[in-house]
């Protein structure tokens, strides 16, 4: 992801707080009504952010760019990836983001293609994590009749699955500074690519508009629920 000036990040937090408190009240209420569920939500987001940013770094390294590795970002240690402002947002409004993972496109063999591969790696890793966690989730769900304590297992695992799907879907929105912007750029014909990349500087304002109007939520949650149902057939999304 791209670096964003601090004033834009603060504005993003304010608007995101408005969107979440209007559309996702369970994020805040869960911490008070069931602290363990609230903690599992935070764990899910921290795990998702960590693997998301690590995957950017790893794929960039495999494609020839050691920038992120040299900056200590090719690690699964959350402290290397958590952004102070993003972490504060996570604790106070229930959603956050990590430090942008740097890469130097001039180290890549094919800038257009490889930039898209690095960008899509984050969302792919979130979906992979959701898929892995869905296995014990399904086992706990279907075996709870034999052992009622398993009810708590799938209850605490569901936020991890759900929020990793949210991270994947949200980051694939094709608006800068989200990863989907470069993913779409990599799919465009070469003659359109340069003009499309010139719109990057306007992306944050487009994203803020989508957030404040509620358009992101109207797109994000139906897709997230659909992906959840595909990963876990026969069960609906928990939120």
Catalytic residue numbers, as ranges: 53
H or E element, residue 16: helix 6-23
159-185 CB burial, b ≥16 within 10 A, e <16: bbbbbbbbbbbbbbbebbbbbbbbbbb
- Integer Cα distance of 232 and 239 in angstroms: 14
Count of Cβ atoms closer than 10 Å to residue 198 Cβ: 9
- Integer Cα distance of 51 and 129 in angstroms: 8
Count of Cβ atoms closer than 10 Å to residue 206 Cβ: 14
Q: How far is CA 196 from the centre of its chain?
A: 23
Question: How far separated are the first and last CA of the chain, in Å rounded?
Answer: 27
- Integer Cα distance of 48 and 28 in angstroms: 19
Contact criterion met (CB below 8 Å) for 165 and 225: no
Count of Cβ atoms closer than 10 Å to residue 87 Cβ: 21
């Amino acid at each position: 992801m791209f670096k964003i000036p601090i004033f834009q990040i603060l504005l993003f937090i304010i608007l995101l707080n408005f969107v979440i408190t209007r559309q996702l009240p369970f994020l805040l209420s869960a911490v008070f009504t069931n602290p363990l569920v609230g903690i599992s939500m935070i764990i899910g987001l921290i795990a998702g952010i960590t693997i998301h940013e690590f995957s950017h770094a790893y794929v960039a390294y495999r494609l020839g760019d050691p920038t992120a590795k040299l900056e200590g970002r090719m690690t699964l240690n959350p402290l290397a990836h958590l952004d102070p402002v993003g972490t504060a947002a996570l604790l106070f409004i229930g959603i956050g983001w990590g430090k942008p993972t740097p890469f130097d496109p001039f180290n890549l063999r094919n800038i257009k293609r490889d930039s898209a591969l690095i960008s899509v790696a984050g969302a792919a890793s979130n979906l992979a994590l959701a898929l892995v966690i869905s296995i014990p989730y399904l086992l706990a769900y279907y075996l709870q009749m034999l052992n009622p304590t398993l009810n708590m297992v799938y209850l605490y695992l569901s936020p991890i699955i759900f929020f990793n799907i949210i991270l994947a879907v949200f980051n694939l929105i094709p608006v800068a500074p989200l990863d989907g912007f470069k993913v779409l750029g990599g799919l465009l014909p070469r003659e359109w690519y340069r003009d499309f990349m010139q719109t990057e500087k306007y992306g944050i304002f487009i994203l803020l508009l989508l957030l404040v109007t509620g358009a992101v939520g109207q797109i994000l949650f139906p897709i997230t629920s659909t992906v959840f149902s595909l990963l876990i057939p026969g069960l609906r999304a928990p939120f």
